[in-house]
Structure formats: C-alpha cells, structure tokens
Amino acid sequence: MKPEFDLCVIGGGSAGLVVAAGGAGLGAKVALVEKRALGGDCLWTGCVPSKALLHSAKVAHTVRTARRAAVGADEPEPDLPAAMARVRAVIQTLEPHDSPARFRGLGVEVVFGAGRFIDSGRFEVEGRTLTAKRFVIATGSRPALPPIPGLGLTPFLTNETLFELREPVPRLVILGAGPIGMEMAQAFRRLGSEVEVLDSAEQALPKEDRDLSALVERQLVEEGVRFSLGCEALEAAPAPNGIRLTVRGPTGAQRGIEGSHLLIAVGRKPNLEDLGLDAAGVALENGRLALDARLRTANRRIYACGDVAGPFLFTHTAEHQAGVVLKNALFHLPVRAETRAVPWCTFTDPELARVGLSEREAAERGVPHRAYGFDFENLDRAVTDDAARGRAKLVTSPRGTILGAAIAGAGAGELIHEYVLAMRHKLKVSDLAGAIHVYPTLAQVNRRLAEQRLKAGLTPAAKRWLKRIFGLRGN
C-alpha cells in the first residue's frame, strides 16, 4: 500500500521544524509528531531563555560599571523573579513562529502524542499508524545527570527547570563549568546571587584552549564567582536552607558546600528511549544513533538530525543537518553533513567562540600545526570600548591551511564567522589579511591575526632574498 506521507518527522524542536517546514515548502506531504510543544529545547529551555536572562544580567552589569565610562549611575537593583518574568515574555513573543497553527498553515499535519516504530516503515502515535516514504528522527536531547549518591533525594535544577524559578536565589551552586554552567554563573552573579561553580576538570570551559578559557574565568572571578575546579562531588543531600554537596578537592581533602539552589549542567544525552528503534532496524553505537555522512541510519529510509544525531549539540547545526536530510530524503542527492567548519560560541562576557581545531586538539591528535595569536589590547576599538580583555588565535598547517580559529573577547560570536567562511571555501590566510576591514572595528582582529601568520612566513632567509632581488637597503 502506498505510504500516506512523503516525510514523517518525529520531534518538533529546531531540527524537526526546519525539516517539516522545508519539506512542505518543497511540495512534500509532511507529518510532524511532537510529544509536548513545538519549539523544542531552544525555544522553551535553552537558547532563547538563557540569552534573555543574560541580557538582563548584562544590563545590570553595565549600570554597575557605568563609572568606568565616566557616566554616573546608582547601584542597580536586580530583581531575579522580574527577570524570569521577562524571559517568559520573550518566549511568548517568539512562540507563534513555532506554533501548530503556523505549521498547519504551511500544509504540515501536526500530530501530538508519544509514539514508536512498530516496523521499518510504520510509526504509531496514540493508536494512529503513520506510514511514510522517509522518516526523520529529531527527538533532541535532555540534561545528563551524574551518578552522585543522594542526588535523587536532593532538590536540583537543570536547564529544563531553571527558567521556571519564581523566587530569589541567594546562593547558587553549579555543577559543571561548561558553556551552560559558565553562562548561568555569570548571569545569576550579575543579578545578585552568590555563585560557586564546581567541575572535575582543572579549568573552566575544559574543551577550549587554556589561554582563552582563562580570560573568561578571570572575568567571572573578578565579578565574584567562586570556582572549585579539579573537584569530585561525592554526595548530595538536602540542607535546612537548600542543598549540601560533599566534594573532594585536588589534594584529596573533603569539604561541604551549601547553597539555596543546585544547578546540574554536566552535559546532554540523546532522547532515544521508547522509540521502537529495534523494530525499525535502527542501530546504535555507544548509546548514540549509528549514522553515515548523509545522516542515514542503518535503515536507509530513516534519517536523523539535531541533538539526537550529534556530535554538535547546537541549534545552528540542527538547522544545517535538517537541510542535509531534506536534500537526501526528498531528492536523493549525495549531500554530506558539514563536520569541519562548524562554529560555536559560549555567550559569557567576554564571549568565547571557535571553529575547527584548537591548538590543544591539534597537538593531541598529532596534527602538524602552527598557532598564532593577537590580543585585543592591541586593537584600537577594543581599547575605546573598554573591551581590551580578549585574544584571537589561528591554527594552521605548516603550509598555511586554516585548521581552526578561536576568539575570546567582545563580540566573538559575531567575529568567528569570517573564519567559518574561510574554512568552508578553503580561503588562504592571505585572503583574510588582504581584505579591507573597517577601522575602527573589532573585526580588524581577524586581519591582524592573519597578518601574524604572514609575518611568521617571512623568515630571515626569505627577507635576505627579497633585499637582494629588489635592491632593498634596510636592516
């Protein structure tokens, strides 16, 4: 019997919505299955609410530090419950873009409910069986919880519950010094909470080069955030005024840390349970979907994209992968997902953004490389804007091929895209150095950094040859 739909998309987060809207726009008959509400983690518990809260925190910090710019200002009066109300208002403003009504208006059949595959070509939802030529798994991810004794009896927050807070947070303890932990540490500190961050790693933002992550960590320390790094959480328990963690430090000594609230931010895990993957012939590897470069599962009729596909858990990669899936599923084009020129950004202040290999990753993988840096304190616009704390790094092959770039500094999330474009289209470092950049802008850091690589290529021997050939007489 002919399948009812061309595409059946399972999951209404960023990836699933792009596939559904794009497929319908291209003329496909599409079903979109979602258990709860369209919009996914990004709209309800991730990107949108976190950036809205960070904005309120930055405004408070700007007022608090206004005298640095010779502007008189009173001490701000942050109101966390009011800030959370603003977060909810921002979500409500953006929610109509992801509403069922909008997608039904695009021609997508939206089906709410939990479902599972009953065989390789049928997906059952609340008693209804959906058949399709192609299926797309886009069920996203959820917070991972560490195996800490007593955690199940201790009240704690994750990104899924953090933005539901209605009360003040006098003292926030954060387990995890990755992007989520660092962003929320700075936001809550700027909004008046005492904050302590714990991590088993010996540095904050442990996936980034130490010289760059240290810039962010130093800023947070100066704002009053406390760090306990290289620490292992041994036990969690309720306390009279909130929670208590027992931790073991780098020296082996144990101590207790108490807080009014505990935020768990130690990573994510894919939502793959109860989907009937075995019945569909979909294989897993180490708890994740086994996918080829075209994002196909072991069942070539079933694709995956977004957090559930990995390895990059970002909304922008979800959207990119959704486009790859559409081209492969509908038009059978051999399109591969981008894995090399994928950027990301931690939205602390200063921001930390990267694309490609870091200097440390290149060294650990044995990749021949050279690294070059340029500090924001040598950038005129950074000095005028009190944004001199920053550094940009470029990692190249010995012959100058761009392997990666990273920026810790004001506007890093905007500035990194020049390197994304360069890597995507295999531009040379000389192309970046030769492009005219507006003065004075922070974007000049990209040209200055590229010039560091070109200067390094001008060896003493090359300089002697230039002098000889062109009759130059300088030293």
Structure-token match 């409500």, residue found:
92
Q: Domain locations in the chain?
A: 5-38+99-142+269-331, 151-266, 343-460
Contact between 323 and 157 (Cβ < 8 Å): no
Mean pLDDT, all residues of the chain: 96
CA distance 192 to 57: 9
Chain Cα centroid distance, residue 248: 29
Per-residue pLDDT tens over the stretch 79-109: 999 999 999 999 999 999 999 999 999 999 9
Helix, strand, coil content of the chain in percent (nearest 5): 35, 25, 40
CA distance 281 to 287: 15
Tokens of 226: 């406390």
Give me the count of residues in the chain.
475
Q: Look up the CATH architecture of domain 5-38+99-142+269-331.
A: 3-Layer(bba) Sandwich (3.50)
| CATH number attached to the domain at 343-460 | 3.30.390.30
DSSP letter assigned to residue 346: E
Domains 151-266 and 343-460 share a fold: no
Tokens of 211: 């010289």
Residue 70: count of CB within 10 angstroms of its CB: 6
Where b means 16+ CB within 10 Å and e means fewer, 262-271 reads: bbbbbebebb
pLDDT higher than 90, residue 471:
no
In this predicted structure, what is the pLDDT of residue 281?
97
Contact between 40 and 170 (Cβ < 8 Å): no
Per-residue pLDDT tens over the stretch 261-273: 999 999 999 999 9
Mean pLDDT, rounded, for 35-58: 97
Q: Give residues with Cβ within 8 angstroms of 161, minimum separation 6.
A: none
Per-residue confidence band for 153, with pLDDT thresholds at 50, 70 and 90? very high
Mean pLDDT, rounded, for 266-286: 97
Closest CA to 198 of 173, 179, 219: 173
Q: pTM to 2 decimals?
A: 0.95
The residue type at 403: L
Tokens of 196: 């302590």
**Which class in CATH covers the domain with range 151-266?**
alpha beta
Q: Give residues with Cβ within 8 angstroms of 79, minimum separation 6.
A: none
Per-residue confidence band for 462, with pLDDT thresholds at 50, 70 and 90? low
In this predicted structure, what is the pLDDT of residue 463?
65
Share of the chain above pLDDT 70, in %: 98
pLDDT higher than 80, residue 400:
yes
DSSP 173-241: EEE--SHHHHHHHHHHHHTT-EEEEEESSSSSSTTS-HHHHHHHHHHHHHHT-EEEES-EEEEEEEETT
H-run or E-run covering 261: strand 261-264
Mean pLDDT, rounded, for 139-164: 97
Residue 130: count of CB within 10 angstroms of its CB: 21
pLDDT higher than 90, residue 292:
yes
Mean pLDDT, rounded, for 145-173: 97
pLDDT higher than 80, residue 459:
no
Share of the chain above pLDDT 90, in %: 94
